[in-house]
Amino acid sequence: MLENRLKALSAAIVQSYDDLSETIKFGSAALPASKKLVKLLGKLQALLFPAYFGKPFSIPASVSCHVGVALEEIQTELSREVAKALPHLERYAKEETNDLAAEARWLVIAFLEQLPQIREALEADIQAAYDGDPAAFSKDEVIASYPGFYAVMTYRLANRLHKLGAPLIPRIWSEHAHGRTGIDIHPGASIGRYFFIDHGTGIVIGETTVIGNHVKIYQGVTLGGISTRGGQALRGVKRHPTVEDYVTIYSGASIFGGQTVIGKHSVIGSNVFIATSVPEYTKVSVKNPELQYKDNNLTPKNELEQDEFWTWNI
């Protein structure tokens, strides 16, 4: 009896492969390996900041050798994964394997050539975190422990690969950082220099968001699209806001819409909802709610009054 049920189940699953064939990859190129890509991300981060994310150099004379070996290893492994990803773009679907391998190598080399510029951008982000957080003991602390810096570092790597046209891999990297930090930055977003995320957790920065220089945002901020009802019809449309230079956005603020612009030097207070543009040098805040205070020394006269007395457990 059990054997017959398992046979029937097997047949039903195989039939679902035919009925729902779009997500079945028989006979097609393999997908990039997520675990391998996360390891490659770690190798890139160790190349950017040795000792913080990898083994320190034993002696200064070994630096050139170490970097050269690391680059060759990353180039070989990342090219292999990019070659797996390319056929999932329509324009590469009919390419021969050798052509895909060559295209992947050129793309990865172009990406690796941008590592010095990425390091320079991240140095400014580290400075922004150190300057903007009085709790930061040192820049070492920012690099080694701040979730906001880890998310931004991953974003800057994923963003460069995204701009070069590599599919799948930038999102795998950004979602790894999302899972680790609670900070969701789409690799397609555009973020300027000296960017600082304080605390992090619960932050969402959508694909078409544009952020200028010297911007600081706190936990729980959403830079999102007003509506996704249009689905794929909205692909390529500016759906997320623009945040200009020297803006601070405090915790819990939600800013929506592709036409929404937060002007330079503005301050967006906690828990506001914004779907229209804000002029330069503007402070936006929610009017304080009315608070009620009760004497904690009083005791309820009966059970009906019990709900009037709150107990805070912190």
How far is 34 from 37, CA to CA, in rounded Å? 5
What pLDDT was estimated at residue 29?
58
The architecture of the domain spanning 202-299 is 3 Solenoid (2.160)
Please give the model's pTM, rounded to 2 decimal places: 0.86
Other CB atoms within a 10 A radius of the CB of residue 233 amount to 8
Q: What is the pLDDT of residues 111-125, one digit of tens each?
A: 999 999 999 999 999
Report how far Cα 15 is from the mean position of its chain's Cα atoms. Answer: 37
Residue identified by tokens 């460069």 is: 160
* CATH pick for 29-167 out of 1.10.10.60, 2.60.40.10, 1.10.3130.10, 2.170.120.12: 1.10.3130.10
- Both structure tokens of 264: 């330079």
Mark the ranges of the chain whose per-residue pLDDT is less than 50.
Answer: 304, 306-314
Of 228, 203, 229, the closest CA to residue 217 belongs to 203
What pLDDT was estimated at residue 312?
38
What pLDDT was estimated at residue 311?
41
Other CB atoms within a 10 A radius of the CB of residue 182 amount to 17
DSSP 254-299: EEE-TT-EE-TT-EE-TT-EE-S-B-TT-EE-PPPPPP----TT--
CATH 2.160.10.10 domain span(s) along the chain: 202-299
- Both structure tokens of 277: 């543009």
Of 130, 152, 147, the closest CA to residue 48 belongs to 152
How far is 134 from 206, CA to CA, in rounded Å? 29
What pLDDT was estimated at residue 93?
67
How far is 65 from 72, CA to CA, in rounded Å? 11
What pLDDT was estimated at residue 252?
97
What pLDDT was estimated at residue 297?
66
Please classify residue 71 by burial: count the beta carbons closer than 10 Å to its beta carbon, then call 0-12 exposed, 13-18 middle and 19+ buried.
middle
Helix (H) or strand (E) holding 183: strand 183-185
CATH 1.10.3130.10 domain span(s) along the chain: 29-167
Of 242, 282, 243, 247, the closest CA to residue 259 belongs to 242
